[in-house]
Structure 1
């Protein structure tokens, strides 16, 4: 019988390359945001998330967290397509987070509150990888970088 839960690996700090975080519940998955806020390290403000659904489908997530402002953004790449979160306050230019010193760009209006990022991650878990409806999504192509 297949495992009814998704399998998730999260990496945002150097030690996660060898030993990624492996949340086992929706709450543990959402708590990754709290860990990133507590870390408060802009050099590691982007997490790569490998999410395998209970059906074996692979989803790649990019998770950016601006700890001091308690804001974040999600990039979702799966069979449904590629989508970024859509927030209410455009920054006027692309938003970026640092992935081990490499800039990862998001649309100017991608940032949402950290609590909403957590809620979206929990919903994604509960929906077994389906795009959650508790946040707004947008498509975007980075033509600048």
Structure 2
């Protein structure tokens, strides 16, 4: 008996929710007493339903909940796909940036090597000065 009352109360609440959405006959602006009276009236209406009508109400509720679940799942799939696409774009951009940085660093390294070679050539003819530590280092490497 207790489970029957609980299930009827749940059914009444779900039916009430459907009724609120459909007809909006129990507005939220009612005082708690009037609201509980309106809910009690809805519960009486649900109790008057035949088993076929109750089954229909349950089917409608089930279909709506199932559709909500499907919509939620579809949203998460789309969100996951969008996130994966964004991550892939970012990864591609990072790889391109890395190749650009590698080439610019390589060019800077080549430029630095050319400068060092020039310093080495001039260092062979000149004595190293104390202001330029690279030249001292280069001469030590040559020995």
- Tell me: higher relative CO, structure 1 or 2? Use CA pairs within 8 A at least 6 residues apart: 1
> Higher helix share goes to which structure?
2
Would the TM-score normalized by the shorter structure come out above 0.5? no
TM-score where L is the length of structure 1:
0.22
> Higher strand share goes to which structure?
1
TM-score where L is the length of structure 2:
0.23
Structure index of larger Rg: 2
